[in-house]
Structure 1
Amino acid sequence: MDSRTLQLLEYPKVLQHLSHFAVSEAGRDACLSLLPETDPVRIAERSALVREAIHFCAFKDVRLAAFPDVAGVFAYLQSPLAFLDVDGLIGLFEMLKVAAALLERLGPADAERYPGLAALVAGLTLPPKTWSGLSRCLAPDGTIRDEASPELYSVRQEIRRVHQMCTRKVQDFFQNKDLQFILQDEFLTISSDRYVLALKNNFKGRLKGIVHDYSQTGETCYFEPLFLVELNNDLQEYKQEERAEEQKVLRFLSELVRTEQRAIELTFDELVRFDGLLAICHFARHSDAHVVDIAPDGPLSLTQARHPLLVFGQDHVVPVDLELKQGQRALIITGGNAGGKTVCLKTLGLLGLMAHAGLPVTAAEGSTLPFWNNFVVSMGDEQSIEQSLSTFTAQIRHFSEVWPRIDTHTLVILDEFGVGTDPSQGAALAQAVVDGLLERQAWVGAATHFPALKAYGLSKDGVRAASVIFSPDTRKPLFKLGYDQVGASRALDVAREQGLPESILARAQDYLYLDAGDAEEIFERLNRLAAAKEEELDKVRARTRDLELKFSRKLEKLDQERSRMQKELREASQEIMRQWREGRRGRKEALKEIAQLRDSVAPSPETDETIEKLSIQAIAQGQVLLYLPWNKTGLVQEIDGKKERVRLDMGGVSLWVGLSDVQASAKERHDGGKVVLKSAPAPVTPLRLDLRGMRADEAESELSRFLDKALLAGRTEVEIIHGMGTGAMRRMVHEHLKRSRAVGDFRLGNADEGGDGVTKVALAD
């Protein structure tokens, strides 16, 4: 990608904002080096991965802890004689701990739902030898643990023993009140890596020992008394041994790292990639950006587009729609100065670069872009004094250089192309250039003040004209585009705002009338119409948002009410069953009250005039009917013509229902006015509960609910599958059955019924 194009569209500034969301130095460098892709497959893969990450972060607030850049460690270990110091090993350990924490956040369920992230995290490994060695040998404070080796533990024990002896001797020395007046401080200190006392300088001759140093004021000397000399000598020997043992530990750990270096490097690389990916997610969240679809034949449709640098620099940014219709390849933007034409072009080019780099763009979700592998930008004053090039010459030279590379996958941005020369010739050249670009099927975004190019935008096939809109009342820009129209250049209004004398402006207006006739008035009327249209569209959009919000609130309230009713029904049913088990209600009374509860929340079929009640004569045993309150189909087992009801079996649940609650099922065929099954009815299988794999408390709760359900269904026999195993589940089941009032008798299954893994239960009458 041409660096000049990236700079003109300010793409590096966007990467700067992106890099601020990375937690590591390596992650920030990765963000700053992110470039647009030119391969459609790579773009699709990167965009899909970013989509997954954004969706994942929306449900789980995943954040990485800061980790060091350990790339230099790997380069240092290339030398076979090199070994790492404590800082290098701590850096590796901190990096591996961040990788371990990330692996814990991404479980197996997440891997199935987010395959792209799972593939990325698959590269994160904790090399067993290095991870174990660093965990055992390095302390959280960045030092080597005593337990790193037996020899290191032993020598540090000796160092602590010497320290205790020095402390004890000094405390005994402090007990001598005759000597306390010569001490500057009553504590043990260290000078030249030896334990010393702080004495007043004028009393240093009162004791035998060695003076190591003086304070800056000269009033205190650091004195090593003779009774500490031998202990200090021992201490120095032990410390030398400690350093030697620490070197052995460092060499040992370095060798572990060297043996698993490739896996550690891969983990670091994937962690840096994940850091960059999370930075993109946080960037998208803070700027309300979305991933757009890119396809070779995709349309240009950026709705509610905002320039990302404006998003990060201002509290409110007016969005703009950048759209071309089917068959159109060029967008020509006209209108007054300071209305936002250049910003629109930069937004188009910059969002195109971001989308092709796999970055979310500051546009509404659902926006689409064509595939572009080349970006050409002609923008601003490109004159070069050193090369003796005028603005016009510099523009033409650059365009001549890139012309051979322009094809159907090129986006060309032209801001005031053709200025710097005679306006009529510049306009003719600009039209010819756009003609040539359209012949090559390139995509074009252009801004112009040339009247000829404005007319070209309204009349040329494949070109769409748009105008920046100004308020008719205040003459201030609205920073919106009015499509399929052109606008005036408003140079005099800008000059007036900048303080040019009114006498000059009046004279310029006279010249303008002589030259342009009624064109300015026509453009002004078009601008007023466009402003009114945008105002109406804003009102419609606001009304639509209000209606959508009200609708979503109604749905939410309905869901809450449904959940509340279901909860109340469940609690009431459980209370009735509890009273029945405790003997406070009869079985028929309990069934009747539960039926009443069911009818109180079930929709009444009588309210629907389109549902025709079935006659008892049209129903035969073995038919399939739809039970309206539950919206479930059931098999007719018995028919009660006197009470006009039928007994349905619905997936093992059997109950009597009235004819007003059933209707013919759509799953059946009709023959002679009677409902007939396509195949013979299946035998009713016994109600069965499988408890295998459950915890004891969970299984007992499930068993209690199952027995209640079977009793309500009018079943006389059920099966409990508990498996053989250790027998604990079987004992729990049998103890519960003994206590249950719903159970008449139970036994283990026969050999052909499942043997000791199944219990057959006969329910009480």
Structure 2
Amino acid sequence: MLMNGRAATLLELPKLLERLSHFAASEAGREACLALAPLPDVEAVARAAAIHEEMRDFAGQAGVRPAEFPPLDGLFHWLEGGRGGADVLDLDALSSLRDVLHLGRLFLDAIAPTGSRCSWPLLAEEAAALDWPGKTFAALTRCLNAEGLLKDEASPELFSVRVELRKLHQQCTLKAKQFILEHKLSPWLQDDYITISSDRYVLPLKTSFKNRLPGIIHDYSQTGETCYFEPMFLVERNNAVQELKREEREAERQVMRFLTGLVRDELPGCKAAAAFLVQMDVRHAVLELASRLDATPLETGPGLPLALRRVRHPLLVLEDGARAKTESRAGKTPRSGVVPLDVVLEKEQRILVISGGNAGGKTVCLKTLGLAALMARCGLPVPADAGSTVPWFDEVFVFLGDEQSLEDHVSTFTAQITRLRDIWDRIDANTLVLLDEFGAGTDPAQGSALAQAVLEELVARQAWGAAATHFPALKAFALAAEGVRAASVLFDPATKKPLYRLGLDQVGASQALDVAREHGLPEVILKRAEQHLLLDGEDAQSLIDRLNQLAVERARELDTLRRDRKELRDKERQQREKLAREQEALFAELKKQSQAIMRQWQEGKVAHKQAMRELAETRKQIVQQGKTPLAAQPVAEASQALAAADLEKGQRVRYLPWNKVGVVEDVDLKRGAVKLDLSGVSLWVAPAELRLAETPPSPAAGRGAAARQEPASAPPKQARQDAIGSLRLDVRGRRAEEALRELEEGVDQAMLRNYSQLEIVHGRGTGALRREVHAWLRQSPAVAEFAVANEEQGGDGVTLAVLK
């Protein structure tokens, strides 16, 4: 089992789970959030990531969210306690169970609507496996009203006795009014109405008149001015009411006994429904946490690298968000947010040694790495860039020297050694060890040697680790040793203040004097310290300062490059989309004009030769408008330019100006021209504007796990002999319903344009969208076969479908 309680506490996972619990709607959901623990295996983590993606889609489309619902643990415990048959659940318990089942039913109906294809297969699988207590839910819904009381229709006996009670009430009220009018008793009454005292109908009589009438006094008001008087004519009717109320209580108890029996009979289903609802509450809380953190599930598993790109400490992100909201409400401009870190080990590297100044963020870096590993094992999304990965850790051990803001303070050298001795035999290739200033509590030379020996042994065991240190020997070790990577927290070269950035492949100075000056240490002490430092020589310090300055400049340049690359990619995508739209518009215009000329010729409005001339002129005009200069083509494409002699009839080629694949109909060697058929449009073009079209890959040749998991369900069918080309459809980032709608339209367009193949780009991600696409293709009558593409064409992020 991975997580020991001490590591979780030091890395502040309980504090994060507490923040997560604030997003749950119910008490049971909050308790479940606090009890989250690492998942047992890679498959469970992958499934949690896939369900998280489905939940994000479900929450945006279904319109059902958890509401406050009562906890049922006490109810279930009472039922499982072996109570006798005379014991029944009270109305509060039955009403609470009804409310939970009602909300659970809303979720189940939203996940798998009757008669509709499910968009969330994993959620639907859980819903289908649920042993739903249908009899209990139906009975509770029929017998209880919105206030949690029994309806009259709960049983025939209850209905009958309540009808009689209403009749008696009307009789008592009518008789009392007649009695008051006949005897002119209005001046004797405090209020002109009949009321109930001691569960009997009485008159509120003024105390001074209590001896004027025969009857029974049941009680007095608090002031003593009113007595509740039962006249003799009401005694018989009140007795009848009491008898009916006894019958009503018995009828109600019979209904509650019946309902309790149903609950007992379907207790496993009731518990499963309640657990399902709690789970949905937790998942919605995780969605909210992911939204606040801008986080996604990390891929984790044996053999994966440690590559946390632009990772942020989740608690710092949450605190920063809360502070920004407070400053915005106060009319202030929010300060900059949490600085992301790149915690990356290259192939064959296992240990990261972090150096640099005090208060620069070394401990935060260690905590961020450890907490990200624990969150990944718990199936929680991590605030890091997409594509980040962490290895599979069975154990995480933490040595925090100062344990900032943490309990169980252990900072002495002896305590460190004792703890290391206790866990040493459990360290292996699936272990993460975090060391903060290990060996600092003793002689620096001996502590440094001991720390280096520990790191060397961790490398030998292929264990993973990260260490924060000020020891110069460990800095040199990190730069020179195999399997170890050096890193340094960065400081602003001008102000000497921390930037909270991590520079890889370099070491950093401690900046002790600058930090001491920043925190107000007397200048006389600092000057003496500087003199001692000069006596020891400051060449190494100057060199490290220069390295820090270069690292800061490099980090800023990388930020600029990232922004520029994103802008260029966005511009390139926009230009490609614009070019594709223009080409489609030109192609449509050519077909429209060509069809109009052919209609005129068929109707006899123009001669055959004139029609041919107009067709040629139209094609020439459109080609000139849509042509891309060859100089603008990539060098690789220009080097593949064709001549007329290279081509023959029936050959498939790509026409560059339109970026469309066609078939060679004729070759005129004398003119050096080629006649193409582009989806039913014929035109003469120059061979230099053509490239050989790639042969459509057979979907059966697709490689990877997805190809093995999604084999074609029927033998391959021969595609249409006259079909050409491949249509590309990109549905990445779409929700399942939207993607399938675009896929259906794409298949229709491909069939209309006579394409033989559809290339669907759905991305890798968690595989949820790929499964949806494959499920739709499997049942489509227009698809002959499909499989994922080979790695050169996108691997399991792309599916190739052959059309019938």
State the shift of 1:480 in Å: 0.4
Q: Secondary structure at the match of 2:462?
A: coil
Q: Distance in 1 between matches of 2:215 and 2:161?
A: 27
- Give 1:506's match in structure 2, choosing from 500, 517, 527: 527
State the Cα deviation string for residues 234-283 of structure 1 (Å, max 9, x = none): 22111111110011111112222222222222323333333323322222
Deviation at 1:140, TM superposition (A): 1.7
Show the counterpart of 1:750: none
Q: Is 1:446 aligned with 2:452? A: no
Letter in 1 for 2:495: T
1:135: Cα distance to partner? 2.1
Gaps of 5+ in 1: 577-585, 590-595, 637-645, 670-678, 684-709, 711-765
Structure-2 change in CA distance of 1:666 and 1:433 (3 Å):
closer
CA 1:329 to 1:630, structure 2 compared with 1: closer, same or farther past 3 Å? closer
Name the CA distance, whole Å, in 2 between partners of 1:52 and 1:319.
Answer: 27
3-state SS of the aligned residue for 2:364?
helix
Deviations 1:559-610 (A, max 9, x none): 999999999999x99xx9xxxxxxxxx9999xxxxxx99x999992355488
Q: Which amino acid aligns with 2:562?
A: R
- 2:248 aligned to which of 238, 242, 249: 242
**Contact persistence 1:68–1:95 (CA under 8 A):** yes
Report the Cα offset of residue 68 of structure 1. 2.6
Q: How does 1:387-536 map to 2 (within 5 A)?
A: 391-536=412-557
Q: CA deviation at 1:229?
A: 2.7
Q: 1:603 to 1:256 in 2, by over 3 A?
A: farther
Partner of 2:194: 188
What corresponds to 1:758 in structure 2?
none
Q: Please give the per-residue CA displacement for 1:211-237, whole angstroms capped at 9, x wherever unaligned.
A: 222222223333333343332222211
Distance in 2 of aligned mates of 1:613 and 1:682: 26
Which residue pairs with 2:740 in the alignment? none
Q: 1:388 to 1:230 in 2, by over 3 A?
A: closer
Secondary structure of 1:186 counterpart: coil
Q: Distance in 2 between matches of 1:431 and 1:624?
A: 65
Q: Of the candidates 73, 92, 101, which is equivalent to residue 97 of structure 2? A: 92
Root-mean-square deviation (CA), in Å?
Answer: 4.6
SS at match of 2:413: helix
Q: Distance in 2 between matches of 1:635 and 1:530?
A: 58
User: Structure 2 vs 1, CA of residues 248 and 566 (structure 1 numbering), >3 Å: closer, same or farther?
Assistant: farther
What is the CA deviation profile of residues 334-356 of structure 1, one whole-angstrom value per residue up to 9, with x for unaligned ones? 11111111000000001101101
Q: Is the 8 A contact 1:103 1:124 kept in 2?
A: no
Query: Aligned residue pairs: how many?
Result: 644
**Deviation digits for residues 692-731 of structure 1 (CA, Å, limit 9, x no counterpart):** xxxxxxxxxxxxxxxxxx9xxxxxxxxxxxxxxxxxxxxx
Deviates more, 1:210-219 or 1:290-299: 210-219
**Aligned in 2, Cα 1:391/1:13: closer, same or farther, shift over 3 Å?**
same
> Residue 68 in 1 paired to residue 74 in 2?
no
SS at match of 1:187: coil
Q: Distance in 1 between matches of 2:199 and 2:218?
A: 10
Alpha-carbon spacing, 1:118–1:568, altered in 2? closer, same or farther (3 Å): farther
Map residues 608-619 of structure 1 onto 2, 5 A cutoff: 608=627
Residue 605 of structure 1 aligns with an amino acid whose one-letter code is V
Structure 1 residue 516 displacement after superposition: 4.3
CA pair 253-215 structure 1, distance change in 2 beyond 3 A: same
The whole-number CA distance in structure 2 between the counterparts of 1:209 and 1:588 is 115
Corresponding position of 2:366: 345
Equivalent pair of 1:626/1:662 in contact (CA under 8 Å): no
- CA apart distance, 1:612: 11
1:116-173 deviation line (CA, Å, top 9, x unaligned):
2222222334333223222221212211111111111111111111222233334445
- Aligned partners of 1:602 and 1:630 also within 8 Å: no
Give the Cα–Cα distance (whole angstroms) in 2 for the partners of residues 261 and 601 of structure 1: 76
Residue equivalent to 1:267 = 273
CA distance in 2, matches of 1:348, 1:476: 23
Maintained 8 Å contact 2:416/2:438: yes
Question: TM-score normalized by structure 2?
Answer: 0.70
Instruction: Report what 1:126 is aligned to.
Output: 132
Q: Which amino acid aligns with 1:42?
A: A
Residues 603 and 396 of structure 1: is their aligned pair in 2 closer, same or farther, counting only changes over 3 Å?
farther
**Given the superposition, is the C-alpha separation of residues 507 and 665 from structure 1 closer, same or farther in structure 2, using an over 3 Å criterion?**
closer
Question: Unaligned stretches of 5+ in structure 2?
Answer: 322-336, 597-601, 606-613, 631-640, 666-674, 696-717, 723-751, 753-804
In the alignment, is the contact (CA less than 8 A) between 2:583 and 2:658 conserved in 1?
Answer: no
What TM-score comes out, normalization by structure 1 length?
0.74
Q: Matches of 2:16 and 2:119 in 1, distance apart? A: 31
User: Given that residues 123 and 266 in structure 1 are in contact (C-alpha distance below 8 angstroms), is that contact kept between their aligned partners in structure 2?
Assistant: no
Q: Which residue of 2 aligns with 1:257?
A: 263
Tell which deviates more after alignment, 365-374 or 546-555.
Answer: 546-555
Q: Are 2:110 and 1:105 equivalent residues in the alignment?
A: yes
What is aligned with 2:565?
Answer: 544
Aligned pairs (5 A) from 1:358-757: 358-381=379-402, 391-550=412-571, 604-606=622-624, 607-608=626-627, 659=683
Alpha-carbon deviation of 1:624?
Answer: 11
Residues 551/21 of structure 1: CA separation in 2 closer, same or farther (3 Å cut): farther
Post-superposition CA distance 1:634-677 (Å, at most 9, x none): 999xxxxxxxxx99998xxxx9x6645999998999xxxxxxxx
| 1:228 matched residue in structure 2 | 234
Residue 17 of structure 1 is matched in structure 2 by: 19
Return the index of the structure with the highest Cα Rg. Answer: 1
Q: Is the 8 A contact 2:155 2:255 kept in 1?
A: yes
* CA distance in 1 between partners of 2:588 and 2:162 (Å): 65
Please name the residue that 2:36 is paired with.
Answer: 34
**1:512 offset after TM fit, Å?**
1.6
Give me the whole-angstrom Cα distance separating, in 2, the residues matched to 1:490 and 1:331.
Answer: 20
Matched-pair contact (CA < 8 Å) for 2:401–2:411: no
Cα offset, 1:331, TM superposition: 0.6
Is the counterpart of residue 333 in structure 1 residue 354 in structure 2? yes
Q: Report the Cα distance in structure 2 between the residues aligned to 1:299 and 1:2, rounded to whole angstroms.
A: 23
SS state of the match for residue 122, structure 1? Answer: helix
The verdict on how the C-alpha distance between 1:418 and 1:70 changes in structure 2, with shifts beyond 3 A counting, is same
Kindly indicate whether the alpha-carbon contact (under 8 Å) linking 1:381 and 1:391 is maintained by their aligned counterparts in 2.
no
Name the CA distance, whole Å, in 2 between partners of 1:531 and 1:281: 35
Separation in 2, partners of 1:179, 1:275: 61
Which residue number in structure 2 is paired with residue 217 of structure 1?
223
How far off its partner does 1:112 sit?
Answer: 5.6
What amino acid sits opposite 2:92 in the alignment? D
Q: Distance in 2 between matches of 1:83 and 1:155?
A: 21
Q: Does 1:146 align with 2:152?
A: yes
Mapped contact 1:38–1:373 kept (Cα < 8 A):
no
What's the counterpart of residue 375 of structure 2?
354
- 1:364–1:390: structure 2 CA closer, same or farther, 3 Å change rule? closer
Q: What letter is aligned with 2:149?
A: T
Structure 2 counterpart of 1:157, which letter?
Answer: V
Q: Is the 8 A contact 1:301 1:324 kept in 2?
A: yes
Structure scoring higher RCO (CA < 8 A, sep ≥ 6) equals 2
- Equivalent residue for 2:780? none
Percent of paired sites with the same residue: 48
- SS state at 2:253 partner: helix
Residues in 2 aligned to 1:569 and 1:217: alpha-carbon distance in whole angstroms: 99
Contact 1:37 1:373 in 2 (8 A): no
**Other-structure match for 2:344:** 323
Q: Distance in 2 between matches of 1:511 and 1:483?
A: 31
Q: Secondary structure of the equivalent of 1:467?
A: strand
Shift of 1:377: 0.8
